[in-house]
Amino acid sequence: MYSGTIVPLVTPLAESGAVSEQSVRRLVESLRHHVTALMPALSTGEGWKLSERQWHDVVAYSVRHSGGLPVLAGAQAPTTEEVVERARSARALGAAAVAVTTPFKPGLSQEEIYDHYRTLREAVPIPLFVYNEKALSGNQIELETLLRICRLPDVVGIKESSGSAEFTRALVAADPGAPVFEGWENLLYEAAGVGGFIGPLANLEPYLCNEMLATPSEELQAEINAVCERYGVFRDDWYAHVKKELHRRGLIESPATVDEVG
């Protein structure tokens, strides 16, 4: 069962727009002893913006240089059909699971949301992380729907990014049958009881994330909030700021984002 800090990797790009394998290797090596799994091509990895080649390469390089850590591939695509195809590709590349949002279609009914995950589970034999968020997809998964999804076979985790500590606590209390990972750094203390953390700060300060999970306190939360402000983690283009800091540290060859290099 997954637990602890899982890192949603940035996608290091060369100025040509290609994924930099050596940057992926250096980044993973810097994190390997502080995290329990790698999650490439999710929101912090600009997963919804990646070309098919970029997505393929960042997942493949993450698997190649994982050092035995499980790779949980983000599959952020607008439709169920596209997510199914990415899940098939992720399985072929050696990913241990896929992390999936709802389709990018605001206003979906809860039944349509459930059917999205059910279809994926029936189509591809790969374990599933449910990514509960609204900013990208425009949909919020209600508690009862999320619990129902978790009863599907091989649901192995929930990235809980609703932004509501109250919802997160209710989800944990309902015992969904899969570990719940807080997705917001500023809610870690309020969401005490979660099984782990998945958020952009793990690219930069994974040991601080681990400390917060092991011994949560208001003082540590204040430190995390201050660090996130300093690195720009709470900004709308947080992934760009995380890349700038990783580039400053010499871990990735360029701070370029997908929008900057295509």
Q: At what angle do helices 110-123 and 80-93 cross, to 10 degrees?
A: 30
Q: Which helix (H) or strand (E) holds 24?
A: helix 21-31
SS3 180: strand
Q: At what angle do helices 52-64 and 80-93 cross, to 10 degrees?
A: 30
Strand-pair category, 97-100 with 72-74 = parallel
Structure tokens at 112: 């349509």
Task: Measure the CA angle with vertex 258, ends 62 and 12; round to 5°.
Answer: 30
Q: Which of 2, 114, 117, 159 is catalytic?
A: 159
State the Cα–Cα distance between residues 172 and 240, nearest whole angstrom: 32
Q: Is-catalytic flag, 134?
A: no
Q: Is 198 annotated as a binding residue?
A: yes
Q: Is 149 annotated as a binding residue?
A: no
Q: Is-catalytic flag, 159?
A: yes
Which DSSP letter does residue 71 get?
B
Q: Which of 2, 114, 117, 131 is catalytic?
A: 131
Buried b (16+ CB within 10 A) or exposed e, 217-226: eeebbeebbe
**Among all residues, which ones are annotated catalytic?**
131, 159
Q: Which residues are annotated as a binding site for pyruvate?
A: 44, 198
Q: Which residues are annotated as a binding site?
A: 44, 198
